[in-house]
Amino acid sequence: MSAEPIRSATGQAHEPAAGTIAVTGATGRQGGATARRLLAGGRQVRALVRDKTAPAAQALADAGAELVLADFDEPSTLASALDGATALFAVPPAAYGPAGNNPKLEFTRGRALADAAATAGVGQVVFTGVASTAGKAFAAEGKRRIEQYLGELIPQVTVLRPVRFMTNYLGAPGIGLDGFVAGVHRHLFPPDETVQIIALEDIAEFAALAFDQPERYAGRTLELAGDELTPVSAVAAISAAVGVELRYEQLSHDEAAGLNPEIAEIRQRWIAGERWHADIEALRVIHPGLRTLADWLAESGAAALRNTLLGTAR
């Protein structure tokens, strides 16, 4: 595997730093994208997984990652998994049930990870949470507590707060919305008001920058987004890219409440004016390759959506 050098905002290439980076959530979306980006950049990656035989874990091993068993609910496994690592990419240990997020359990798991990292002497953590809003951030109570706790224990912490993922158009298991059903994308958002979105690959790019330049990014919190479109225009762009007639519908309050009370609350707060507020143009200065929805569709999204919508293998 040839290493891809990490580049600064000016495009100047430089050699990646040394040391092993542990990655939680490595078989998931953010963790998987970040593990692949770090491996492509020549970094040593240790993927914390619960099942080494899972296809996603095997794919990471084939790409050069070291696999170690770890479970957030068994703290002793975290300490041994982090032994010898110099840095950590931490995906929130999600705790989601019929009533929505369980912030108490999420924080308990995050605290166990932070304690294990401190015990192992991990000096740098990049933690990815969720974007803030003008009011109480959506589904963020546990994540904000983890952010604070990490800052008290670890010398260098960078916090990433991404908005909605572009890959959510492929479907988001366990939530009850996102994706397309019978050609319709249904969500909480008003159809003609813009919503910020981001590609997973760009979250990984910002993580790689933070790991490569800890002195620059330590102590910083980055609200992350790559594009901002109305749901109607986003679905129209997807429809054109995949060649399938698609449309958007907003969920009613009763429909959102039928999924769970937290989703209904988020819908009401959004309608009341709470919004994500990432500065996309400033982020593009840091990462000039920041993807728009059109970029993501051309790169990988359209092909994945065709597979999902049409059941065709490409």
Say which CATH number the domain at 181 has: 3.40.50.720
Confidence of residue 175 (pLDDT cuts 50, 70, 90): low
Mean pLDDT, residues 54-83: 96
- Indicate whether 217 pLDDT > 50: yes
- Indicate whether 99 pLDDT > 90: no
Mean pLDDT, residues 117-140: 90
Task: List 223's β-bridge partners, or say none.
Answer: 161
Mean pLDDT, residues 163-188: 88
Q: Is residue 177 part of a domain?
A: yes
Q: What is the pLDDT of residue 10?
A: 40
Q: What's the CA gap between 212 and 1, in Å, rounded? A: 19
Domain count, the chain: 1
The answer to whether the pTM exceeds 0.85 is yes
Can you give the residue range of the structural domain that contains 127? Answer: 18-307
Residue 213, phi then psi, degrees to nearest 5: -130, 65
Q: What is the pLDDT of residue 9?
A: 43
Closest CA to 248 of 258, 257, 256, 238: 238
Mean pLDDT, residues 153-161: 97
Mean pLDDT, residues 2-30: 68
Q: Is residue 55 part of a domain?
A: yes
Q: Is residue 53 part of a domain?
A: yes
Residue 134, phi then psi, degrees to nearest 5: -65, -30
Confidence of residue 219 (pLDDT cuts 50, 70, 90): very high
Q: Is residue 314 part of a domain?
A: no
Please, which residues have CB within 8 angstroms of residue 108's CB and are 6 or more apart in sequence?
none
Over the chain, what is the mean pLDDT?
90
